[in-house]
Amino acid sequence: MSLATPWRFIPPFQAPGRVQMALDAWLFRQHCLGLHPPTLRFYTWAPAAISLGFHQRQWPAEWQEITWQERPLALVQRPTGGRAVLHQGDLTYAVITSSFPGNRTQAYQAICEFLIQGWRSLGVELQYGEAGRGYIHNPNCFGTATSADLVLPNGEKLIGSAQLRRGSVILQHGSMRLEPDAILFTQVFGPDNLRLPKLPLSLQGAALTQTLIEALATALQRCFGVQLVPQPLSDAEWQAVMAQAELSRSPVGSGPVAVS
């Protein structure tokens, strides 16, 4: 009989950014109230989107004019801090837990350990970034790498993470750049920020994503001594999340300010 602490694993799915962010925020609140267990999930964004940090109040006006695959690039706000992240060709992870004591940096590094171990099992070594406080002046989250981010041996940033904390409860989610489109990335952040990761992996597309999810899920169970229990969202949970998503449809006009 396994004595490992059970965590909920929500099977991966693709959805609009406002739905994905509403779900992360809802899971965080439910865990704060003691109504939901620690949770791991992975997800992708459709349509492609730019997520803005919770405190990000300005963004380029031209972002509203960008399209990807004949659909407008969505703008959504995260419940976590940090700078803008382009979600296309990436995989996002989210961890909701209250199992890690210590300060914010210590919690980041404790949670990121499963990312390091999971990628290592696929032959990819990662280490923490070293950017100082000046990173905040770069609107592109992947333009610099702080001690909360993970980079490849050549210094290219692979995973950017952000965190929300209330007491001992933590929501940490982050974007892993797998196959970003260089043209779209340049449209959003300009040619000076075009530094895309080159992964030493032969897998691509759905096979890469599935292999990575399996490796990271295995690593989390091993690192944290927990057991992941797959459990899709119930109809009642979906209703609660969609109600939350309707309240935060777009940051445009209500939060950040587009600037020319």
Catalytic residues: 141
| Cα dihedral 46→239→64→90 (10° resolution) | -30
Instruction: Give the DSSP H or E segment for 258.
Output: strand 257-259
Closest CA to 139 of 61, 72, 199: 61
The count of other CB atoms within 10 Å of the CB of residue 178 is 19
Distance CA 36, CA 27 (A): 7
Distance CA 120, CA 215 (A): 9
Q: Which residues contact 192 (CB under 8 A, 6 or more apart)?
A: none
* Torsion sign, CA atoms 201, 220, 166, 171: positive
CA angle 93, 175, 76 (to 5 degrees): 100
Do residues 42 and 12 lie in contact, with contact meaning Cβ atoms separated by under 8 Å?
Answer: yes
Which conformational region is residue 123 in: left (phi greater than 0), alpha (psi within -120 to 50 degrees), or beta?
Answer: left
Distance CA 188, CA 56 (A): 16
Do residues 150 and 126 lie in contact, with contact meaning Cβ atoms separated by under 8 Å?
Answer: yes
